[in-house]
Amino acid sequence: MDDTRRAVLDAVADGPVSGPALAARLGVSRAAVWKHVEALRESGFAIESDGDGYRLVETPDYGGPAIEFGLDAPFDVEYHDSLPSTNARARDLAAEGETDVVVLADEQTGGRGRLDRTWRSPPGGIWLSILCRPDLPPAHAPVLTLAAAVAVAETAREHGVDAGIKWPNDVLVGGEKLAGILTEMEGEADRVAWVVVGIGINVDPKGLPDGATGLCAHTEEIDRRTFVQHLLERFDDLRTDPEKALAAWREHALTLGRRVRVETGGGTVVGTACAVEFPGTLVVETGDGPVRVHAGDCEHLRPV
């Protein structure tokens, strides 16, 4: 949403405000104010006008402008009813030079997990990708994945859902997977060019694979609009503060102290997960001493 339209929306939300007063305040013509009001109406905002002026009476339930309205984070939100994959769309936007854009879809028809696995994304879920250009070396980018996992877990907890994080990027409730994160990036040796952090959160628990759960299995009602707003605000807060992200990750970690089996590119590591170090490395205490794992699939094992 451009700045003038945002200003018009903020003003009518505090309304009533007359067209001429608004035009004078924003330094635009009355016709321009009218065009912005019409465009906002088309996006689903119910704006009444009477003798006192324009007044916002209803906000759309979901979508780009609905999420941008009142969002305390510097993201533009691009919404689609259906997309193959929000990560794929965000990568296209990266190639066009965009940044700080969130791609959001109601449904994905080709959602992807890590290692090209399929990610089931029925209508009504929360499927989004955040495109940003952090000032980080590529080796530090995993901290953004941790920040995203924290943002999901904390927002779920705020909604009364007892979520925790399994290393590195799964958000679980009662041992079942509520959300997954797929981070993709491009960069030079010393600096990230762009990062796309893809976040998938199940809402309706029906129609998901075994071992998956949705927010609605654990709480009465979810307002996806405020959920996404809080998620983006928390992510924005953590993305520039790796120490804070890591500390918050540890606070919500389900993996630390557990016996784990981690499948890595270089083999299987079994032992007790004893720490997570910057930028997201898992330290596993094995019979042969500590092993540091940078990436892999982690399974929680029963204690022996």
Residue 75 binds ligand BT5, judged by CB under 6 A: no
Pick the binder of ligand BT5 from 180, 242, 280, 296 (CB under 6 A): 180
Shortest approach of ligand BT5 to residue 292 CB, angstroms?
Answer: 20
Give whichever of 43 and 86 is closer to ligand BT5, judged by the CB atom: 86
**197, 129 Cβ separation under 8 angstroms:** yes
Q: Going residue by residue from 33 to 72, which x/- string records binding to ligand BT5, judged by CB under 6 A?
A: ----------------------------------------
Residue 280 binds ligand BT5, judged by CB under 6 A: no
User: Which helix (H) or strand (E) segment is 273 a member of?
Assistant: strand 267-277
Single out the segment in contact with ligand BT5 by CB under 6 A; choices: 32-40, 51-59, 120-128, 251-259.
Answer: 120-128
Residue 87 binds ligand BT5, judged by CB under 6 A: yes
Residue 183 binds ligand BT5, judged by CB under 6 A: no
User: Which 138-177 positions form the footprint of ligand BT5 (CB under 6 A)?
Assistant: 177
Residue 181 binds ligand BT5, judged by CB under 6 A: yes
Q: Is the peptide bond before 209 cis (omega within 30 degrees of 0)?
A: no
Q: Checking DSSP bridges between strand 176-187 and strand 281-286, what pairing results, if any?
A: unpaired
CA 56 to CA 49: how far, in whole Å?
9
User: Which 185-214 positions form the footprint of ligand BT5 (CB under 6 A)?
Assistant: 198-200, 202, 208-209, 212
Shortest approach of ligand BT5 to residue 24 CB, angstroms?
Answer: 43
Report CA dihedral (266, 268, 273, 277) to the nearest 10 degrees.
10
Binding-site size for ligand BT5 (CB under 6 A) equals 28
Provide CB contacts within 8 A for 93, sequence distance 6+: 78, 101, 103, 131
Pick the binder of ligand BT5 from 117, 191, 206, 292 (CB under 6 A): 117
Tokens 């929680």 locate to 300
CA 8 to CA 13: how far, in whole Å?
8
Give whichever of 177 and 239 is closer to ligand BT5, judged by the CB atom: 177
What tokens appear for 193 in the block? Answer: 């060019």
Residue 119 binds ligand BT5, judged by CB under 6 A: yes
Backbone angles phi, psi at 7, to 5 degrees: -65, -40
CA 7 to CA 233: how far, in whole Å?
20
CA 157 to CA 149: how far, in whole Å?
12
By the criterion CB under 6 A, which residues form the site for ligand BT5?
85-87, 108, 111-115, 117-121, 127-129, 177, 180-182, 198-200, 202, 208-209, 212
